[in-house]
Amino acid sequence: MAKKKNKKDAKALNEFLAEAQEIAESLGKNLMLLDNAIKEGDLDPELVNEVFRGMHTLKSLSGTFGVDPLSRIAHYEENLLDQLRLGRIELTPSVLDLLFESVDLVTRILSQVSDVGDNQAADGLPEVEKLLEKLHRLGEKQSENASPTGPPSEAAAPQPELLLESEVFEVLTEYEEHRLRTNIDRGVALYKIHTKFGLESIDEDLDKIKSKLKPLGEIITYLPSAEEGEPDRLEIQIIFALQKNPLDLEEAVDGMDVELERIEAKRQPRSVMSDPPEHIPSADPEDPLAEEIARHTKSAPAALAEPEAEGSRALSLRSVSQTVRVDIRKLDTLMNVVGELAVICSAIARVSEDIRTVLGRRDLTLELHRINRGFERRLAELREGILEVRMVPLTQMLDRLNRMIRKISRDLEKEVNFIVSGAETEVDKLIIEEMSNPMMHIIRNAIDHGIESPQERRAANKPDVGTVALTAYQKGNHVMIEIEDDGKGIDVERIIEVATRRELISEEQARTMTDQEITELIFLPGMSTATETTEISGRGVGMDVVKTHIGTIGGVVEVQSDPGIGTKFMITLPVTLAIIPALLVSIADRVYAVPINTVAEALYIQPENVHQVMGTEAITFRGKTLFLCRLDEFFGFSRGDDKPEDSCVVVASYGHRRLGLVVDGIIGQQDVVIKPLGKSLSRVEVFSGVTDIGDQRLALVLDTARIIEQSQVAKDRVERRVAPVE
């Protein structure tokens, strides 16, 4: 039996998972940048070095926490990246595929460790050995290509003599010497930039000069000056490879406390290079080198387990980061507390009113009202602050989608451009996580079913490269995500054929359905038009899961398709699931909460204003027909003749649809924290949860999107046939 972990161990594991996941996401993002750089023929060596440092950090971190599979993968990949950054291995698409595969496997291992809560949960994973075997074969291939009669290695090549002090060469790392040699071979102008930094502002000053130099070339190294200077200032020499015009460099540093010195170079037979590094180690699971590294890193602190990565010279002990990681569950707890405080705030307001009406103490009522108003303002600030912390940009999800798109397009031998607009749009962290899989399904289907092969696209007078565009933007209290491809669109005839054959719809229904209704059949369970089953699609699951999953977080998905032009999915999401303002309404002496972000308007109607449109109740609203849904009948309440003469209509809007919800009356507005209904009521789709509204009363929270969807099934067809009422 596994030993139960205490809270301290669990906290340490959670911190490890958070940091390792952050590293994995950064690695994936940098690999996508490398992929684009290879396509454009403009490879930034610092980017390769950044990936190397990420793997180095991941190796140290996973070794410290005893996650052996991660430690082994990172160790092998670090050696591969070391060969890449030193120019001994060419960065080809196949090598990049191995790096992407490693990051994907790292993410899977972290997920498995997180699910089980044990750092040894991923031990013995067969995918690890398969990946290491691929790396082993790559290492052997590189060894075979290194012919003894071929060109001399870097270690034996003549070292350039520069107008630099001999002490400089002694402190250069192997990577820095390699970059120095590469730039000299390319004829790039080298400069020594002398500058001084105040000790108190060294971080800001260093970032400033880096931002000025980076667009103009490559910073090879930073070296402290050997000469004694002012006690409160640090003199730094920057070895810089200028890839632009010298005038651009002078203009960039104009006004800064720097001195430029051109470095001349000539070759002579001299070498100060260190011994060549080892080849990529064997993938043998009993590899003594891997075991030795794992043994040392498990017993040493993370900061001491490995030396500082090459090229990163600590100039200050002060951290430049002003951020901290916060477990989302802690924010949930705080948000629940805020919700409870909101209920208390409402209770104080009621007590204040009772004091005025029952006791007649107007003075106490005014004082309580003043205090309560201050309480409300501070509570609103606290709520907004917590919500702001929970909000993250969609970029976090899009980086993972980028890797998935690259892999699928390569597997299907299709070229696809992924264009993103609105990546900075912020959404609740929980919504981001819940949306990852649905978005993956939609884009996977777009590439597999939508985007044609290059031959088909040429025949249709389309460019060989397909396009999948994702657009995100905020619309009121919702976030809209649109995913559009320029493929062949949805074949409605094929949809009808499959749906009738599988008895998802009858032939009579098929004859009366519009093209839009047929298109939406893709969301039915078991609906798949794929002719064969593959790892990517054709298993009869996917779009129905997408719709269900999006619905569980209060979202709606709609689809539009034009044959030969493409398909567009439109997803409407709430900005947050934490705490929402709600409109409290009464229905048959019961109180319900309607999320304000789905309420467009509220109005009272007279019975004579209601008319029938093809058997469905409707009213004229702003010159258009608005269908009604009487919630007492929708919920199946038996009221007899006990109905109010005047009814209130809450105009609910979600996505591109509107519906008038008929209620008995409006009680007021209140901020609510939605809590789940529990397993026994989890399948009741029209309620998203329950909330405490104070005075020991609970109110069910209406899932407006589901109500609109269920009510509109029969009414959509009617609405298309009804002209706007003037």
Compute φ and ψ for 420, nearest 5 degrees: -120, 135
Angle, CA of 464, 543 and 432, to the nearest 5°: 90
Contact of 297 with 93, CB cutoff 8 Å: no
Q: Beta strand pairing status for 624-630 and 657-663?
A: parallel
Q: How far is CA 468 from the centre of its chain?
A: 17
**Which region holds residue 319: left if phi is over 0, alpha if psi is between -120 and 50, else beta?**
beta
Angle, CA of 318, 319 and 322, to the nearest 5°: 135
Catalytic residue, chosen from 30, 56, 441, 478, is 56
Cα 161 from Cα 181, distance rounded (Å)? 10
Cα 414 from Cα 109, distance rounded (Å)? 29
Catalytic residue, chosen from 30, 402, 445, 597, is 445
Q: Which residues pair with 237 in a beta bridge?
A: 194, 223
Compute φ and ψ for 88, nearest 5 degrees: -85, -15
Cα 554 from Cα 701, distance rounded (Å)? 11
Q: Cα dist. 701→217, 267, 331 in Å?
A: 58, 78, 21
**Share of the chain residues as helix, strand and coil, in percent rounded to the nearest 5:** 50, 20, 30
Compute φ and ψ for 418, nearest 5 degrees: -105, 110
H/E stretch holding 435 reads: helix 429-445
Q: Which two tokens stand for residue 716?
A: 């959509």
Q: Is 450 helix (H, G, I), strand (E, B) or coil?
A: helix
Q: Is 78 a catalytic residue?
A: yes
- Indicate the DSSP class of residue 675: B
Cα 662 from Cα 131, distance rounded (Å)? 60
Q: Is 306 helix (H, G, I), strand (E, B) or coil?
A: coil
Q: Is 119 a catalytic residue?
A: no
Handedness of CA 124, 30, 84, 305 (dihedral sign): negative
Please give the full DSSP string across 524-542, using - where no structure is assigned. STT----SS--SSS-SS-S
Contact of 451 with 485, CB cutoff 8 Å: yes
Q: Is 445 a catalytic residue?
A: yes
Catalytic residue, chosen from 78, 174, 306, 452, is 78
Q: Which two tokens stand for residue 120?
A: 């040894």
Q: Which two tokens stand for residue 631?
A: 């919630």
Q: Which residues are catalytic?
A: 56, 78, 445
